[in-house]
């Protein structure tokens, strides 16, 4: 009897563990802060804002219409588009569709509108505000030496520069930072629009 009773206990524990894993998998699939790679593998083109809520289907909208449509006049081909006034980024493929769009938190200085290219990338570093950051994608250094690039604070917080210090960091949430890292390899075009 002891043998069949322990077998039943093991079977019940296994069933409960599988049910728990299934429940967590469903929760993870519905989570709004999943990385863009997970969205793409699911065949979805959902954008995300920095608040962690789905921002809508950017690829399904016509360019130039709606707040999440790729801005008109932002060039052509595969590129990162950064709209200064909207504080929003689009990752645009060669098919002219945005695979991901999200809000960002700029620092104290913004780059001039224009076309740039990714010049360097760093996986992990400490930001100018002392915050550990990851997925750093640099695209410009201006004449004053200010470096402009996208990054995500490991803890997800926005930039907190020293008052009066000129910095060009553009913060993303960690999931959006990973999407940028996967998309914007060296020499990827970055278009900054007003």
Mean pLDDT in consecutive groups of 10 residues from the start of the chain, 194 residues: 52 44 37 35 34 35 59 96 97 96 94 98 91 96 95 87 85 96 98 98
Q: How far is CA 42 from CA 35, 38, 55, in A?
A: 11, 6, 17
The Cα-based distances of 19 to 12, 15, 22, 66 in angstroms read 11, 6, 5, 41
Residue 157's CB is within 10 A of a number of other CB atoms, namely 14
The whole model's pTM is what?
A: 0.66
> What is the Cα–Cα distance from 57 to 165, expressed in whole angstroms?
37
Alpha-carbon distance of 165 to 9, in angstroms, equals 63
List, in sequence order, every residue forming a beta bridge with 152; answer none if it has no partner.
134, 172
Q: What is the pLDDT of residue 49?
A: 36
- The span from the CA of 64 to the CA of 72, in Å, is 5
- Nearest partner of 160 among 117, 111, 105, judged by Cα: 105
């Amino acid at each position: 009897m002891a043998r069949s009773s322990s077998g039943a206990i093991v079977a019940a524990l296994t069933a409960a563990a599988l049910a728990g894993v299934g429940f967590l998998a469903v929760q993870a699939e519905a989570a709004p802060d999943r990385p863009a790679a997970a969205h793409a593998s699911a065949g979805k083109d959902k954008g995300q804002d920095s608040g962690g809520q789905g921002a809508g289907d950017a690829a399904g909208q016509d360019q130039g219409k709606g707040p999440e449509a790729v801005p008109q006049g932002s060039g052509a081909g595969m590129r990162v588009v950064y709209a200064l006034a909207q504080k929003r980024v689009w990752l645009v493929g060669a098919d002219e569709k945005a695979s991901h769009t999200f809000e960002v938190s700029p620092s104290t200085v913004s780059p001039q509108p224009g076309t740039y290219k990714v010049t360097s990338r760093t996986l992990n570093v400490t930001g100018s505000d002392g915050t550990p950051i990851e997925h750093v994608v640099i695209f410009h250094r201006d004449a004053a030496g200010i470096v402009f690039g996208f990054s995500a604070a490991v803890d997800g917080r926005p930039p907190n520069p020293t008052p009066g210090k000129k910095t060009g960091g553009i913060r993303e949430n960690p999931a959006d930072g990973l999407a940028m890292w996967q998309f914007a390899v060296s020499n990827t075009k970055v278009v900054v629009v007003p």
